[in-house]
Chains A and B, each alone.
Chain A
Amino acid sequence: MSAPLPAPAAAQAAAQAAAEDARKMHVVVVGHVDHGKSTFVGRLLHDTDSLPNGKIEQVRKNCAIEGMEFEYAFLLDALIEEQEQNITIDTTRIFFRTKQRAYAIIDAPGHKEFLKNMVTGAASASAALLLIDAKEGVMDQSRRHAFLLSLLGVKQLVVLVNKMDLVGHSEETYRRIVAEYSAFLKTLGLTAVHFIPIAAKHGENVVERAAKMPWWRGPTVTEALDAFRHEDDLTGLPLRLPVSDIYRFDHRRIIAGRVEAGAIRPGDELIFQPGGRRSTVRTFEDWPGPESRDVVGTGGSASVTLSEQIFVERGQVASHPAHQPRVGREFRARLFWLGKEPLTLKKTYRLRLLTQNVDAVIARIEQVTDASTLESTLADNVPRDSICEVVVRATRNVAYDLHHECPITGRFALEEGGRIHGGGIILDSVAQSDAPSGKVTAVERTARAGHPPAVIWFTGLSGSGKSTIAEAVERRLFDAGRKVVRVDGDDLRVSLNRDLGFSAADRAESVRRASAVAGLFAGSGHLTLVTLIAPLAADRAKARAALASQPFIEVFVDAPLAVCESRDVKGLYAKARRGEIAEFTGISSPYEAPESPEVHIRTDKTSQEEAVDLVLAAIDKVIQGKGEDWEV
């Protein structure tokens, strides 16, 4: 019982063509409060025969019941509250059609506190009609609304000089308003296509020409509307496909998103930013099938499977590798602020850019502009309904374009508590202000490594087990993802220190060189493990002083001489006993045991595993939560 009759192919094609012609144009109506917006729209609906049957009679009847004079504006002001307040609350979307095409007209409000609603309406419009009361002239919101239109990217504008009946249909009054307002628009980079003199209340120059203004040879409002073009098609721009979601409802893994600019085809190589992973479009998974589209252009929702399974997440933007968006954390933007609370310097907001949603701070407020006078001031916060230029710094990289390169991917919203408070267009990229060009700071190195550097100096007799413990510590740190390096005294002896012997002076020099090497590694962000006998307390004290800009952990590997000598891994004790090595520590030269090492390992009482844990615990203690404290 349910299926409708299948339409014949010819009828379907005809409907298709008709739908193409009827592509609806969205027009916003703005202007100062009481300059006649609602009256104009009511009259337009009436004169284009777009009102439902009985509507005008119903409103006339209601007016009569309440003892009010009928006004065309009441046709729109359908809510009780609006009629009580006599102002339009919200963007009422009304559909009407001329002989040429269909329109959705947004009766945007003029009352100042409802600017956010005007933005909501105007953001979806391709053209604007701005009303100016001929008698009252250009007012505060006449200017403010034009500023917002320029910011929202509404480029087609017709100014309606309304209430011409109240100025005796005077061409001179009309000319004066045209001169004043065109000069203002010029400062915004806007041009009005026409300034049409009308009297909305009487329908003059709305649909019908006004006999009372024979001097006007330009179009009527509907003629001007029919000359508007649809918004620019962005299909010719580079591909921007923000990822909305990843679907795994069955065996397929589908990347879902809407093409915001450009076009995408199966076989295209894609790069996903931020992140930079690449893959190739395998298929589009269009339902109901059996065939899917060959190409998805701007505005189309795509369901993409990839040839190579790479990590993709909501927020990333897919593009072709040759034409990628910018990737960065910081940009300069012009924004309008609609929040009840002022926009505040250094405060964190949610930055919503395409499907990206990250924390961002207002790093700088460059200027706050009065949208009505265009005067700019400096301030630390931006009050409601203002326009400003700011630097936005996100907590991590985002993919974006500059607004003049690609409008849709060059704009963003700021949100707090799930509610949108402002919107902006991106003017420039900014090199990150906390990472000036030139020297890389210790803070940056710590941030990248995830921990600050430190020097861990293992001292003890030859054969006490310093290197064995240090190697095990190095392995554990490395496996945990730490940046770690080991500087071994024996390695230095055959390279950097090969000109040195075992005299007290040479030992001191050897300790000095080892601490210099350790200092370089630590300075580059490493946890630096040094294994060097360093028998003299004075030399070790000098090393500690030289490395004072990092945490310094002295590990005393304390093994009895007899044990070390019995191990004699390198055969050095035997050589020393035979007198082949002069001034050998513990045999023919003293070892001054550290008095208060950070870690004291008694190898006769502690297993190697326990020793490694002791050292790691000491390292953890100094590197945790100290990231900010160890700046050079």
Chain B
Amino acid sequence: MSRNAQNDHLTRLEQTSIHVFREAFANFRSVCMPWSMGKDSNVLIWLARKAFCGKIPFPLLHIDTTYEFPEMYEFREKAKVIHGIDLIVRVNEDAIRRGIGYATHDPVTVTHELKTVPFKAAIDEFKWDALVTGIRRDEDPTRAKERWFSPRSAEGNWDYKDQPPEFWGQFASVAPEGGHVRVQPLLEWTELDIWEYIRRENIPNPTLYFARNGKRFRSLGCHPITHPVDSPASNIDEVIEELKRTKVSERAGRAQDHVGRNSMQELRAKGFM
């Protein structure tokens, strides 16, 4: 690859994301990046290292639901070393003691208890005023409304009806009292962009995304509610070819999205990432 190629689509996306990372780091007192270990989050780590010349100057947060695929835990330990990650792990031990789990509760309740509750507790504990997320506008209609810098109230609420204007590279630079700002460097990326970039940069990712016995995971969440899709795509080139043809939505295999007509909206209003 040419050392100067800069006008291609992926490089433009990359350079804009780097700018967003740098503006966030310059503007906010205390930044954290939640890490799901999924492909988008791994691209974020890569972009952060590019933005800060190799070193990620803030901690990453993994909210461990205890329902991750075993391979994800292996990947976490390996990636931690490769990228030199300062990792904070939080589990909602109290909810687990109370017996909250997929065997006995609906996915929306479990997601709330095991993800959102410990996530909010961590924000209270560390007082972060900016959180970097891997949200992309193409993921879901509600996410199409997002901004690069998206303020959240102390309760974690998102006032999507009265968002600050955002133009000319000037972002909302002050977190609401007691709240924080979500910083979203991947906003303009699509699922296909993510995979093409992973291929170009050779970014480490879990192998669950590649087909075994005719099935692969397109999106990764808790194992009881995340289902593989039928796919022969067993390597990155085949995944990219498949995405160029598919018209099935990315989160089709994620059960919590499909409980009610607007479940995603409800989850997000409650502070879900």
Closest A residue to B235 by CB, please name it.
Answer: A5
Whether A52 and B247, one on each chain, are in contact in the complex, defined by CB atoms closer than 8 angstroms, is yes
Decide: A79 and B142 in contact? CB cutoff 8 A: yes
Which of A53, A295, A301, A412 has a CB less than 8 Å from the CB of B19? A301
Interface check A117, CB cutoff 8 A: yes
| Contact of A52 with B265 in the complex, beta carbons under 8 Å | no
Cβ–Cβ < 8 Å partners of A294 in chain B: 3-4
- Tell me the nearest residue of chain B to A17, going by C-beta: B8
The residues of B that contact A258 with a CB separation of less than 8 Å are: 15, 18-19, 22, 169
Residues of A8-34 whose CB lies within 8 A of B: 11-12, 15-16, 19-20, 22-24
Distance in angstroms between the alpha carbons of A245 and B249 in the assembled complex? 39
Give the residues in chain A near B79, CB-CB below 8 Å.
2
User: Is B125 located at the chain interface by the 8 A CB criterion?
Assistant: no
Pick the contact of B200 from A15, A89, A355, A417 — CB < 8 Å?
A: A15
Quick check: B165 and A117 within 8 Å, CB to CB? yes
Question: A120–B165 contact, CB under 8 A?
Answer: yes
Q: Which of B1, B12, B145, B167 contacts A299 (CB 8 A)?
A: B12
Flag whether A249 is at the interface (Cβ < 8 A): yes
A140 to B147, CA, bound (A): 28
Whether A52 pairs with B52 at a CB distance below 8 angstroms is no
- In the complex, whether B204 has a CB less than 8 A from a CB of chain A is yes
In the bound complex, residues from chain A placing their C-beta under 8 Å from that of B169 are 258
Interface string of B82-109 (1 = CB under 8 A from A): 0000000000000000000000000000
A303 to B54, CA, bound (A): 11
Chain B residue contacts of A90, Cβ below 8 A: 145, 160-161, 163
Q: Which residues of A contact B198 (CB under 8 A)?
A: 4
Interface string of B223-251 (1 = CB under 8 A from A): 00000000000011100100000011100
Tell me whether B172 and A418 are in contact (CB under 8 A): yes
The smallest beta-carbon distance between B72 and chain A, in angstroms, is 10
B156-170 Cβ-contact flags toward A at 8 Å (1 or 0): 000011011111111
Min distance, Cβ B152 to any Cβ of chain A, angstroms = 13
- Alpha-carbon separation in the docked complex, A123 to B52 (Å): 28
A438 within 8 A of B: no
Q: List the A side residues contacting B196 at CB < 8 Å.
A: 15, 19
B residues in contact with A52, CB < 8 Å: 247-249
Q: Which of B5, B199, B205, B247 contacts A7 (CB 8 A)?
A: B199
* Given A285-B53, A293-B3: A94 touches B144 (CB 8 Å cut-off): yes
Partner of A2, one of B164, B167, B170, B205: B205
The contact of B53 among A76, A247, A408, by CB within 8 Å, is A247
> Given A52-B249, A252-B53 in contact, is the A104-B188 Cβ separation under 8 Å?
yes
Which residue of B53, B141, B188 is within 8 Å of A79 (Cβ)? B141
Q: Are B204 and A2 in contact (CB under 8 A)?
A: yes
Q: A52: shortest Cβ distance to chain B, in Å?
A: 5
Query: Which residues between 199 and 217 of chain A lie within 8 Å of chain B, taking CB atoms?
Result: none
Chain A residues lying within 8 Å of B54, measured Cβ to Cβ, are 249, 287-288
Give Cα distance in the complex from A338 to B138, angstroms: 28
Number of residues on chain A facing chain B (CB within 8 A): 82
Cα distance A162–B104 in the bound complex, in angstroms: 54
Q: Is the CB of B207 within 8 A of A244?
A: no
Whether the pair B190, A314 counts as a contact (CB closer than 8 A) is no
Nearest B residue (CB) for A418: B174
Contact B6 A296 (CB under 8 A): yes
Complex: chain A residue closest to B18, CB-CB: A301
Give the chain A neighbours of B10 by CB distance below 8 A: 19
Considering the chains assembled together, what is the distance between the CA atoms of A62 and B260 in angstroms? 12
- Chain B, 185-200, CB within 8 A of any chain A CB: 188, 190, 196, 198-200
Interface centre among B6, B52, B172, B200 (most CB of A within 10 A): B6
Tell me if A78 counts as interface (CB < 8 A to partner B).
yes
Q: Is the CB of B247 within 8 A of A3?
A: no
State the majority secondary structure of interface residues on B. Answer: loop
Contact, CB under 8 Å: B262 / A19: no
A121 — nearest CB in chain B belongs to which residue?
Answer: B167
Q: Which residue of B lies closest to A246 (CB)?
A: B26
Take A287-B49, A417-B174 as given contacts and tell me if A6 and B202 are in contact as well, using a CB distance cutoff of 8 Å: yes
Kindly provide the distance from the CB of A19 to the nearest chain B CB, expressed in whole angstroms: 4
A7 to B198, CA, bound (A): 10
Residues of chain A within 8 A (CB-CB) of B237 are 5, 7, 11
Q: Are A124 and B6 in contact (CB under 8 A)?
A: no
Interchain nearest-CB distance for A27 vs B (Å): 14
Minimum CB–CB distance for B272 against chain A, Å? 16
Residues of chain B within 8 A of A417, CB atoms compared = 174
Pairwise interchain contact B4-A293, C-beta atoms closer than 8 A: yes
What's the minimum C-beta distance from A94 to chain B, rounded to whole angstroms?
A: 7
Closest to B145 in A: A90
Instruction: Indicate if the CB atoms of B164 and A95 lie closer than 8 Å.
Output: no
Given A4-B236, A93-B144, A287 contacting B53 (CB threshold 8 A): yes
Cα–Cα distance between A245 and B52 once the two chains are bound (Å): 10
Q: State in angstroms the CA–CA spacing of A296 and B265 once bound together.
A: 41
Known: A89-B145, A294-B4. A420 touches B15 (CB 8 A): no
Check: B215 CB closer than 8 A to any chain A CB: no
Question: Which residues of chain A are near B210, meaning CB under 8 Å?
Answer: 4
Question: Given A78-B142, A420-B172 in contact, is the A12-B199 Cβ separation under 8 Å?
Answer: yes
Tell me the nearest residue of chain B to A1, going by C-beta.
B207
How many angstroms between the C-alpha atoms of A291 and B4 in the bound complex?
A: 11
Residues of B contacting A16 with CB < 8 Å? Answer: 1, 5, 8, 200
Asked if A250 lies at the interface with its beta carbon under 8 angstroms from chain B, I say: yes
Against B, the Cβ 8 Å flags (1 = close, 0 = not) of A88-107 are 01111111000000001000
Q: Is the CB of B142 within 8 A of A413?
A: no
Across-interface contacts of A288 in B (CB, < 8 A): 49-50, 54
CB pair A89 B160 closer than 8 Å: yes
Q: Is B7 among interface residues, defined by CB-CB distance under 8 A?
A: yes
Q: What's the Cα separation between A433 and B25 when bound, in Å? A: 37
Q: Is A325 an interface residue (CB 8 A)?
A: no
Complex Cα distance A6/B172, Å? 39
Residue in B12, B74, B170, B265 with the greatest tally of chain A CB atoms within 10 Å: B170
CA distance A277 to B240 in the complex (A): 49
Check: B57 CB closer than 8 A to any chain A CB.
Answer: yes
8 Å CB interface, A546-604 against B: none
Residue A361 CB within 8 A of the other chain: no
In angstroms, Cα B142 to Cα A92, docked, is 9
Nearest A residue to B199 by beta-carbon distance?
A7
Closest Cβ neighbor of A24 among chain B residues: B9
CB interface residues, A 46-105, toward B, < 8 Å: 51-53, 62, 76, 78-81, 89-95, 104
Q: Which 6 A/B pairs are nearest by Cβ-Cβ distance?
A: A418-B174, A78-B141, A123-B167, A116-B165, A301-B18, A413-B170
13 interchain pairs, CB-CB under 8 A: A4-B203, A23-B7, A92-B145, A93-B144, A123-B167, A256-B22, A288-B54, A299-B6, A419-B172, A420-B164, A420-B170, A420-B172, A423-B165
List residues of chain B with CB under 8 Å of any chain A CB. 1, 3-10, 12, 15-16, 18-19, 22-23, 25-26, 49-55, 57, 71, 74-75, 78-79, 137-138, 141-142, 144-145, 147, 160-161, 163-170, 172-175, 188, 190, 196, 198-200, 202-207, 210, 235-237, 240, 247-249, 261-262, 265
